[in-house]
């Protein structure tokens, strides 16, 4: 009997092995149906809307939506805040959406920022795309603008979304690496997916490591429709622009921050709101007339493309202010459910095949993640306006319905709830004419993949290009498969020949001898962070001090920073209090053990002979300054504090000497004259506003 069971078990194992081997020959559905195309969803014509009878697409996405519980499959690591949105003027010419009509009306919002790849417990400062999603609680219902901090996406058709996320998530055999794209699976997928080239350029750029959520741009990604009261439709692209400017970390800084404070972005947002430094973002739109839909050399329905601002300017339409932190993280930030399908009258969709898939997938995800179709009754998701329908029961039902009817039409309930004609505010879809055969095809207008990637590269400043190349060296340097690295160099050679050669050198691949595609030479100034707003407001400055510090110098600089909207914190060896040279006790905010230079935007060392003497003997303090210098941040010193900079022997910088009162060399501001505090503060604030001093000489020689 035992022998018989063993034979059966062996046969079973053999059958399983045969099944697995056979399954590798043909891609099938879960029902065993062989699939002819898994790159394109079923559409009406190659450029039309997606169809619900695409059973392969639905199975693929619904399975994907249920792969992680209970956290989000993507965007699991997030942070949120309440606030309001207020339009600058009436936009009735373009849309009948009521919340965009009256500049005196403030519409409540809840905004959630997030990383994409990492799990809930991952760090904030990883190299990744960031989510930027806003729920508007309008008088006509909830409207969700669900976007990212990058204006384009990896893929053109939502049917490929499971493949993308499977590739970038930790590899399934060993669950590594966490919250990182630097591994073989991801770059294998990218190297075989030319449409991802433009997005990958953004991910390798500084945009993928933002300084904070307060200094991060947002985009709607897709082309949407606005429809006015007369029924006229226009295409729309959304842009969120932070009033503090768009700024980033450097890679070494981002890595260090992940270890020192993995909640860096979350903490920054929370503390800014608690202190009344409310983050502000201007909402702008690019408006494209329907008759101009085909005037560009790319397809506006292609989510891997953006519309350069030189072709269609961004029109500012309003401002969002985030002024209140959540009362409970789980109840609000974790349970908030965003859906691109949540629109109000006057806002509609385009036939973008990535958007079309998201309209189905997000709702399906919420049903799975939050466990019930009644997730809209969770307070953070509940509309502020009245809502009535005949949907009943189900898990988590919190509404106590008293009507005897739950169907339409009815007479027993007086015919209510009743539908509302479009002329009276009922939602009416734009009557777009569509026709075509049912096909799994990509529109020919989606076929070009490199011109905008080249545009992005051409638009970057020299430091931004250096950072992108270094990022490619890091990411592809982690890839073990040489064939993948070779394909990526070939892919980048279609973007720019010099870029491909520079990347090849760093990853052990022969450089291409000729460009695969000629660089068109075009650029767009809006794509470089070098051209963003530059102010000191919202910045954090570390003041390094010890017993014997000159309190008058320190307080003068600290007050000037406060007046400029920056925040200064005193960093010392131990928590508690230090005593100034004139005997005053000063509260310490952070210690060298609990803090680090990457957590600040600038560093200041005040005078005081005993304080400076102690700092000279503290390796952490010296490393703090070295690191800030290496990361090209503004640093300043007054009085004896200049002696500390001299002792560090920072290369290529001229410091104030006994004969000079003030110097500002490459963002290093110094003065030995204690009467110069006001002038030092003014120069220091200007240096902080620059964000970084990229031309700083020999910064790589600094031991940090």
Give SS3 for 322. Answer: strand
Domains plus CATH for the chain?
A: 82-377 (2.40.180.10), 449-528 (1.20.1370.20), 534-701 (3.40.50.880)
The mean pLDDT value for 496-518 works out to 97
139: left (phi over 0), alpha (psi -120 to 50) or beta: alpha
Peptide bond before 342: cis, by omega within 30 degrees of 0?
Answer: no
The alpha carbon of residue 467 and the mean position of all alpha carbons in its chain are separated, in whole angstroms, by 18
The string of pLDDT tens digits covering residues 16-50 is: 444 444 444 777 777 777 778 888 888 999 999 99
Active site annotation includes 75:
yes
Assign 500 to helix, strand or coil.
Answer: helix
Angle at 166 between CA 160 and CA 172, to 5 degrees: 155
The DSSP call for residue 581 is T
Nearest to 22 by CA among 6, 37, 34: 34
Q: In this structure, are residues 150 and 207 in contact, taking their beta carbons and an 8 Å threshold?
A: yes
What angle is formed at CA 153 by the lines to CA 480 and CA 34, rounded to 5 degrees?
75
pLDDT in tens, 635-670: 999 999 999 999 998 888 999 987 778 999 999 999
Least confident of 297-311, 385-399, 486-500: 385-399
Instruction: Answer with the residue of higher pLDDT: 363 or 66.
Output: 363
Provide the percentage of residues in the chain whose pLDDT is more than 70: 96
* pLDDT over threshold 70, residue 11: no
Report pLDDT for 68: 61
pLDDT at 7 over 60: no
Q: What is the pLDDT of residue 58?
A: 83
User: Which position among 148, 185, 342, 458 bears the catalytic label?
Assistant: 148
Mean predicted lDDT score pLDDT of the chain: 92
Beta bridge partners of 210: 248
Predicted confidence (pLDDT) per residue in 392-445, tens digit: 888 888 888 888 888 888 899 888 888 888 888 888 899 999 999 999 999 999
pLDDT tens-digit map of 104-137: 999 999 999 999 999 999 999 999 999 999 999 9
> What angle (nearest 5°) sits at the alpha carbon of residue 268, between those of residues 530 and 107?
85
Q: 684 φ, ψ to 5°?
A: -65, -40
Other beta carbons within 10 Å of 63: 12
Averaged pLDDT, 611-621 = 96
Catalytic residue among 40, 56, 75, 247: 75
Tokens 């049903």 belong to which residue? 367
In this prediction, residue 20 carries a pLDDT of: 44
**pTM confidence score:** 0.91
* Confidence (pLDDT) at 474: 98
The predicted structure's pLDDT at residue 424: 86
SS (H, E, C) 413-480: CCCCCCCCCHHHCCCCCCCCCCCCCEECCCCHHHCCCCHHHHHHHHHCCHHHHHHHHHHHHHHHHCCC
Q: How far apart are CA 575 and CA 612, in angstroms?
A: 18
∠ CA 107-111-116, nearest 5°, is: 155
């Amino acid at each position: 009997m035992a022998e018989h069971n063993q034979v059966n078990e062996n046969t079973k194992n053999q059958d399983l092995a045969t099944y697995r081997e056979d399954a590798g020959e043909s891609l099938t559905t879960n029902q065993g149906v062989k699939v002819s195309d898994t790159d394109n969803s079923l559409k009406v014509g190659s450029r039309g809307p997606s169809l619900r009878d695409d059973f392969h697409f639905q199975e693929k996405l619904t399975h994907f939506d249920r792969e992680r519980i209970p956290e989000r499959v993507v965007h699991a690591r997030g942070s949120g805040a309440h606030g309001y949105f207020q339009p600058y003027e009436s936009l009735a010419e373009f849309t009948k959406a009521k919340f965009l009509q009256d500049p005196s009306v403030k519409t409540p919002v809840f905004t959630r920022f997030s990383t994409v790849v990492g799990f809930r417990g991952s760090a904030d400062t990883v190299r990744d795309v960031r989510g930027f999603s806003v729920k508007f609680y309008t008088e006509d219902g909830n409207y969700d603008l669900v976007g990212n901090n990058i204006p384009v996406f990896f893929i053109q058709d939502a049917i490929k979304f499971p493949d993308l996320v499977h590739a970038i998530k930790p590899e399934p055999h060993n669950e590594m690496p966490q919250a990182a794209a630097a591994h073989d699976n991801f770059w294998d997928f990218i190297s075989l997916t030319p449409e991802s080239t433009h997005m990958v350029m953004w991910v390798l750029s500084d945009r993928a490591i933002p300084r904070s959520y307060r200094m991060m741009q947002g985009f709607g990604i897709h082309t949407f429709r606005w429809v006015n009261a007369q029924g006229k439709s226009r295409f729309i692209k959304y842009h969120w622009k932070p009033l503090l400017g768009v700024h980033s970390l450097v890679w070494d800084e981002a890595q260090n921050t992940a270890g020192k404070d993995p909640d860096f972005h979350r903490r920054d947002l929370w503390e800014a709101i608690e202190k009344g430094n409310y983050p502000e973002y201007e909402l702008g739109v690019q408006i494209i007339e329907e008759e101009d839909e085909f005037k560009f050399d790319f397809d506006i329905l292609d989510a891997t493309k953006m519309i350069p601002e030189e072709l269609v300017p961004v029109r500012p339409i309003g401002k969002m202010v985030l002024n209140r932190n959540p009362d409970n993280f789980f109840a609000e930030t974790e349970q908030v459910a965003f859906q691109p399908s949540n629109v109000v009258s006057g806002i509609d969709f385009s036939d973008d095949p990535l958007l079309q898939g998201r309209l189905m997938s997000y709702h399906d995800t919420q049903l799975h993640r939050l466990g019930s179709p009644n997730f809209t009754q969770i307070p953070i998701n509940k509309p502020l306006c009245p809502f009535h329908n005949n949907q009943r029961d189900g898990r988590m039902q919190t509404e106590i319905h008293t009507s005897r009817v739950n169907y339409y039409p009815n007479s027993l309930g007086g015919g209510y709830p009743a539908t509302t004609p479009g002329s009276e505010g009922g939602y009416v879809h734009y009557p777009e004419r569509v026709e075509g055969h049912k096909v799994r095809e990509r529109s020919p207008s989606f076929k070009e993949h490199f011109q905008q990637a080249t545009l992005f590269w051409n638009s970057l400043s020299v430091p931004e290009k250096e950072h992108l190349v270094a990022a490619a060296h890091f990411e592809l340097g982690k890839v073990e498969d040489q064939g993948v690295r070779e394909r990526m160099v070939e892919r980048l050679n279609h973007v720019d020949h010099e870029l491909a050669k520079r990347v090849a050198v760093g990853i052990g691949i022969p450089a291409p001898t000729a460009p695969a595609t000629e660089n068109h030479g075009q650029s767009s100034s809006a794509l470089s962070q070098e051209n963003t707003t530059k102010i000191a407001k919202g910045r954090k400055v570390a003041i390094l001090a010890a017993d014997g510090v000159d309190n008058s110098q320190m307080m003068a600089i600290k007050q000037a920073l406060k007046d400029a909207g920056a925040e200064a914190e005193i960093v010392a060896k131990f928590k508690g209090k230090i005593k100034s040279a004139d005997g005053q006790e000063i509260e310490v905010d952070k210690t060298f053990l609990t803090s680090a230079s990457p957590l600040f935007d600038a560093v200041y060392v005040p005078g005081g002979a005993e304080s400076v003497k102690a700092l000279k003997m503290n390796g952490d303090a010296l490393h703090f300054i070295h690191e800030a210098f290496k990361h090209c941040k503004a640093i300043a010193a007054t009085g004896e504090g200049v002696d500390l900079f001299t002792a560090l022997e920072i290369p290529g910088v001229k410091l104030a000497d006994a004969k000079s009162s003030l110097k500002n060399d490459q963002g290093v501001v110094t003065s030995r004259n204690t009467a110069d505090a006001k002038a030092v503060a003014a120069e220091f604030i200007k240096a902080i506003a620059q964000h970084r001093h990229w031309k700083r000489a020999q910064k790589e020689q600094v031991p940090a």
